[in-house]
Amino acid sequence: LGRRYMVMGPMLIASILSLIAAFVPRGITSVALAVTARFFNNMAYSTVIQWTPELLPTPMRASGASFVHISAFAAITVSPFLIYSDRVWEGLSLILVGVIGVLAAGVALLVPETKGRSMPQTMDDWKTINNDTIFSR
């Protein structure tokens, strides 16, 4: 399949499940939907963590991977505010998670596929790999 679809697919599934869970009455069904959405979010995140070093050339690899990890921790820092959004409206946190997931899946279209390619070693290799996105075809 490739990394792009292993990020996009689970992220879209998680988003759809989150949006459905927002409108289902609270109970076992909404919990099952939310937990399943979390599973798919974790699947997408694990793929992103593997994908990042494959995209970056050797001189930038450590810094780029660090940036991705720091961004993830920044998102974790903001996440409690998502939970408190339920005080405004009961399903708002799940709607926000669903919308953010759809946007993230869309961003995955802009990232080059790395399946069947060697990792870029130089900046010139990196420029070449960046021409392989959905929109550059």
Residue 136 pLDDT grade (very low, low, confident, very high; cuts 50, 70, 90): low
Report whether 94 contacts 34 (CB < 8 A).
yes
Q: What are phi and psi of 120, to 5 degrees?
A: -65, 135
pLDDT of residue 137: 57
Angle at 56 between CA 50 and CA 61, to 5 degrees: 80
Rounded to whole angstroms, how far apart are CA atoms 99 and 17? 11
Q: Give the model confidence (pLDDT) of 39-87 as tens digits.
A: 999 999 999 888 888 888 888 888 988 998 899 899 889 888 888 898 8
Using alpha carbons, list the distances in angstroms from residue 1 to 7, 9, 29, 100.
10, 10, 31, 23
- Mean pLDDT for all residues in the chain: 88
The tokens for 98 are: 């669903």
Domain residue spans of the chain: 3-132
39 Cβ neighbours under 8 A, 6+ residues apart: 14
Q: What pTM does this model have?
A: 0.83
Using the 8-state DSSP alphabet, how is residue 112 labeled? P
The per-residue pLDDT for 38 is 94
pLDDT tier at 133 (50, 70, 90 boundaries)? low
